[in-house]
Amino acid sequence: MQKIAVVILNWNGEKLLEAYLPSVVAHSPHADVYVADNASTDGSIAYVKNHFPQVKIVQNSENGGFAKGYNDALQHIEAEVFCLLNSDVDVPKGWLDPIQKMFNQADAPDIVQPKILDLKKPTHFEYAGAAGGYIDQLGYPFCRGRVFQSLEADKGQYNDIKEVFWATGACMFIKSRVFHNLGGFDEDYFAHQEEIDLCWRAKNHGHTVYYNGNSHVFHLGGSTLSNMNPRKTFLNFRNSLYSITKNLPWHKGFPIIVQRLLLDGIAGLRFLIRLQPLHCLAIIKAHFSYYRNYKKISRKREKKQFYGPYFATRSIVWSHFVQGVKNFSFLVKD
């Protein structure tokens, strides 16, 4: 049986640990549970030590964000499979069993995510991952069950096991040797979309990414940065450009980047029209950050063979905002 380590990254999240750590401990009997702490200054660590002495603690020396936080912590954890779990995720009994079964198979995938449901509206999928991630031909991410902000109800339509393009960092299972061989997350991302980059690099190296709808968890979402936070807008727009630059050969990536920059400008105007100038400013800052770091990022371009196909559909921007498509099944023939 593959040994699983459930690793929860924490930064000043005492309230979240109080709310959601009990379910993880209660319903993960065959796994080791860790809290990887990003130099918290609240009572997080004291809470874990006092209430869950069986939970192991890895103390990082600084708050390096999601990417560096996990990179630092996972150097100190031994297991065949890492489960990277957000601190705002509630897990039901038996959630690990279908995943454990997958990793025990001879042809086990390298990365797996379960079904992600909305904790506040459990009948629906949750934004961060839903039923497995894809990208369109311009590199925009979307999910089975989620197109931009449109979330589908869970009617069992994705109760399957299926290869996908990316798995959410809210609940990602990954073979430890694959994580380390890929060099972990790219720390230049800090947070947001680093899991898409990791999965894209994994694909470039011939690894497999799967969704397993026989397992599900409930994600609160937005507990670190809500969708209304301009900082999240900045990170999402910039990091998406990073991923395209790094993971496609120049002759394929450059035309996409040019189109994305134009569409980002339209998105900025849309924010202005909706009286959200700080989000428009965040996009401008994202572009300048991308230009400033272009040489550094381009030097990370993958040298491995570029496996494909990458792109599940032509343009979700056109399909969603012009044609009004809100359901995954109308975008991709699943």
* 205 contact partners, CB below 8 Å, separation of at least 6: 181, 182, 304
Lowest-confidence region among 75-79, 145-149, 172-176: 145-149
Closest CA to 96 of 77, 122, 114: 114
Write down the pLDDT at residue 317.
Answer: 87
Report percent pLDDT > 90 for the chain. Answer: 84
Q: pLDDT tens digits for 279-313? A: 999 999 999 999 999 999 999 987 766 666 678 88
In the predicted model, is pLDDT for residue 222 greater than 70? no
Write down the pLDDT at residue 330.
Answer: 87
| Average pLDDT over the chain, rounded to an integer | 93
Q: pLDDT tens digits for 163-193? A: 999 999 999 999 999 999 999 999 999 989 9
CATH 3.90.550.60 for domain 4-219, yes or no, is yes
Write down the pLDDT at residue 50.
Answer: 97
With cut-offs at 50, 70 and 90, classify the pLDDT of residue 225. Answer: low
With cut-offs at 50, 70 and 90, classify the pLDDT of residue 331. Answer: confident
* 36 contact partners, CB below 8 Å, separation of at least 6: 7, 8, 9, 10, 58, 60, 69, 70, 72, 73, 74
Answer whether 60's CB lies under 8 Å from 185's CB: no
With cut-offs at 50, 70 and 90, classify the pLDDT of residue 321. Answer: confident
Write down the pLDDT at residue 308.
Answer: 64
CA atoms within 13 Å, Cβ hemisphere of 130: 28
- Look at residue 124 and give its three-state secondary structure: strand
Write down the pLDDT at residue 154.
Answer: 98
What's the rounded mean pLDDT across residues 302-330?
A: 82
Domain spans of the chain, in order of start: 4-219, 230-302
Could you give the CA distance from residue 245 to residue 254 in angstroms, rounded to a whole number? 8
- Look at residue 129 and give its three-state secondary structure: coil
Answer whether 229's CB lies under 8 Å from 96's CB: no
In the predicted model, is pLDDT for residue 223 greater than 70? no
What's the rounded mean pLDDT across residues 44-48?
A: 97
> What backbone torsions phi and psi does residue 265 show, to the nearest 5 degrees?
-65, -40
Write down the pLDDT at residue 311.
Answer: 81
Answer whether 65's CB lies under 8 Å from 201's CB: no
* Radius of gyration, alpha carbons of the chain: 19
- Look at residue 94 and give its three-state secondary structure: coil
